[in-house]
Amino acid sequence: MASEEKLRLEKELLGLYLSDHPLRRITRELAERSDTQAVEVTSALQDTEVRIAGLVREVRRVVTRKGQIMAYASLEDLTGAVDVVLFPRVFEQVRLLFEPDKVVVVQGKVDARAGSTRATGSASAPPVEPEIESEVEVASVVADMAWLWDDPACLPVTRRQLLHVRLAGGDSVLAERLEAVLARHPGTDEVVLHVVVGSREVTVHADRYHVLAGPVLAAEIDELVGAASTRLEIVRPKAQANGNGRGKR
């Protein structure tokens, strides 16, 4: 039995994948084209622009009061699932992408007030557009655009990153060793030091160093300074107002 068919049957019969996950083979490619995982889409990212990638699961079409078609979709990655809201103008342009088991990349705005795929309605007939204000507040992504994951038009995404390092002050030897570690990982990511001095914490932007942040560098710093001393922050831009779905394909 082909691996794709085996995975499909596992999901259909058991509701989950046992032997593998269909996204695992393209993890690197999806990471290059996205900057946010499903588990990270929370109200803490309200109004920020994100790129997510995953398998299309449930798609629920909705007829608005103006007679237009919009949709709520569920997108699944290796960390969980996230709700995607496709207002009429966007859905008209990308509706062919939103079919079960297609792998897509979605760019849009995080909104905890935009409703979700848990909107009420019959699966056999499009429901009337729900009262969004009455929806349970869940963090969704309001789509501006979408692509198939291997579409050449879906270019790798770049985001400004900050590497936060927390360490005790007053240790010149530790500071010199940390400088040496940072120097071994040149890149474009910025470094922010959180220096603990007594009961105070002083924040210092280490403009002298730009690094290639990632698991390798984080592991080296944690080994030197102490476990869980590092934190990587992705600086996401605030989404521009586009009239709920006036984005372009």
**Distance, CA of 133 to CA of 136 (rounded, Å):** 8
Name, in order, each residue with C-beta under 8 angstroms of 214's C-beta and a sequence gap of 6 or more.
232
Whole-Å CA distances, 141 to 114, 122, 181, 248: 8, 23, 38, 16
Give φ, ψ of 58 to 5 degrees.
-70, 140
Q: How wide is the angle at C-alpha 56 spanned by C-alphas 54 and 61, nearest 5°?
A: 140
Q: What is the pLDDT of residue 243?
A: 53
Give the containing element (helix H, strand E) for 164: strand 160-168
Q: What is the pLDDT of residue 192?
A: 94
Q: What is the pLDDT of residue 155?
A: 93
**Distance, CA of 18 to CA of 37 (rounded, Å):** 21
Q: How wide is the angle at C-alpha 68 spanned by C-alphas 77 and 59, nearest 5°?
A: 20
Strand bridging mode 200-211 / 49-63: unpaired
Tens-binned pLDDT, residue by residue, of the chain (249 aa): 455 555 555 455 445 554 556 888 888 899 899 999 999 899 989 999 999 999 999 999 999 999 999 999 999 998 999 999 999 999 999 999 999 889 999 999 999 876 544 443 333 344 445 444 434 356 899 999 999 999 999 999 888 889 999 999 888 999 999 999 999 999 999 999 999 998 899 999 988 889 988 888 989 999 999 888 999 888 888 877 655 544 443
Q: How wide is the angle at C-alpha 107 spanned by C-alphas 106 and 109, nearest 5°?
A: 120
Residues in a beta bridge with 148: 104
Give φ, ψ of 137 to 5 degrees.
-70, 110
* 3-state DSSP assignment of residue 13: helix
Q: What is the pLDDT of residue 22?
A: 80
CB 73 within 8 A of CB 83: yes
Nearest to 34 by CA among 17, 21, 51, 22: 51
Prediction pTM value = 0.68
Q: How many residues does the chain have?
A: 249
Q: What is the pLDDT of residue 194?
A: 94
**Distance, CA of 139 to CA of 115 (rounded, Å):** 8
Domains of the chain: 3-148 (2.40.50.140), 160-235 (no CATH)
Strand bridging mode 80-86 / 49-63: unpaired
Q: How many helices (H) and strands (E) does the chain have?
A: 5, 9
| 215-225 helix and 172-183 helix, angle to the nearest 10 degrees | 170
